[in-house]
Amino acid sequence: MLTRGAAVRRLLCIVSPRENASMLEIRNLTKIYDDGTVALKNVSFTVPDGEFLVIIGLSGSGKSTLLRCINRLIDPTEGQILWNGVDLAQLEGEELRKVRRQIGMIFQHFNLVKRSSVLTNVLTGRLGYLPTWRSLTGRFPPEDIQRAWQALERLGIADQAHKRADELSGGQQQRVGIARALMQDPKMILADEPVASLDPVLAHSILQRLESLNREDGITVLCSLHYLDLVQRYATRVIGLRQGELVYEGSREDIRQMTDAQFKEIYGEEAERIGAGGGITGSIEEHSARGGAA
């Protein structure tokens, strides 16, 4: 006969097979740039696996610095970045390379190699898995090429594979960026203002792709976003930064109930609704029906 507590624990085990669900834990993270700019001040928060965490904050509040510290594109000055118990802030060399390939990165301006083909751009997502000699030859194993095609299919741009990256529309380029990140077989994706260069309809189409990776593949997403509508629609949790400090943490419910006034309090007057000013608010389907290219 199980006690009630034991029964509940057993049930919890069934629901969540890993007893200690893995997560990202940022502890007292501080970044001071060489010129003395304090971009992050003692920032601490936790991201359980499977979250779609949105980071909000004014331009200059430290969002990019935070995302770049997490995958060590820049080195934090102080603090810990614990991912499944390993402090990423301390890793170097091969260990860092191994962890970093599990973290996909998506950029506002896509960061594609403009003159290379879409397929080649996607394949570069695999470089972290290849020995250095192989990456220097620029030749990829057949299984990687197959994987690239699958990623392109999934993102709906297989028909663009042989075009030069800069021949694609912005929305398509960002899909290439996501396909490239997928090649890493990532456990976590960091997206730094991934839709800031796109119109609102394309913004939804890109965020829906990220949402599908989050929900269907269980990839944790950390994403900075600008518009309250998008934050409310996609975030499962939100953190707010102001001048490098963490000033807000909210759950999915908190965010859904957030008024424009509260959003502005965290975000400042730059806060906007995506539909503001008569912008496009229609659905993706409507957009396609109008013949829009994604």
Q: How far is the CB of 26 from Mg ion (least distance, A)?
A: 17
- 59 counts as binding ligand ADP under rule CB under 6 A: yes
- 64 counts as binding Mg ion under rule CB under 5 A: yes
CB-based contact 221:51 (threshold 8 Å): yes
Look at residue 39 and give the partner it binds from Mg ion, ligand ADP, none, a contact being a CB closer than 5 to 8 Å depending on partner kind: ligand ADP
Question: Tokens representing 240?
Answer: 């707010």
- 64 counts as binding ligand ADP under rule CB under 6 A: yes
Q: Is the dihedral angle over the CA atoms 154, 156, 158, 164 positive or is it negative? A: negative
Alpha carbon 288 to chain centroid, angstroms:
25
**CB under 6 A: which stretch of 11-19, 62-70, 127-135, 196-204 binds ligand ADP?**
62-70
The residue among 39 and 155 lying less far from ligand ADP, judged by its C-beta, is 39
The residue among 64 and 173 lying less far from Mg ion, judged by its C-beta, is 64
- 146 counts as binding ligand ADP under rule CB under 6 A: no
Strands (E), the chain: 23-32, 38-48, 52-56, 78-83, 86-87, 103-107, 188-192, 220-224, 237-242, 245-251
The residue among 120 and 224 lying less far from ligand ADP, judged by its C-beta, is 224
Q: How far is the CB of 168 from ligand ADP (least distance, A)?
A: 25
Pairing of the two strands 188-192 and 220-224: parallel
Chain residues 34-63 in contact with Mg ion, contact rule CB under 5 A: 63
- Pick the closest to residue 118 from 155, 91, 64 (CA basis): 155
Q: How far is the CB of 270 from Mg ion (least distance, A)?
A: 13
The residue among 39 and 230 lying less far from ligand ADP, judged by its C-beta, is 39
- Pick the closest to residue 56 from 289, 262, 293 (CA basis): 262
Q: What is the per-residue burial (b if ≥16 Cβ within 10 Å, else e) of 7-43?
A: eeeeeeeeeeeeeeeebbbbbebbbeeeeeebbbbeb
The only residue of 24, 26, 54, 65 in contact with ligand ADP, by rule CB under 6 A: 65
- 60 counts as binding ligand ADP under rule CB under 6 A: yes
- How many Cβ atoms sit within 10 Å of the Cβ of residue 259? 9
Site residues, Mg ion (CB under 5 A): 63-64
Site residues, ligand ADP (CB under 6 A): 33, 35, 37, 39, 57, 59-65
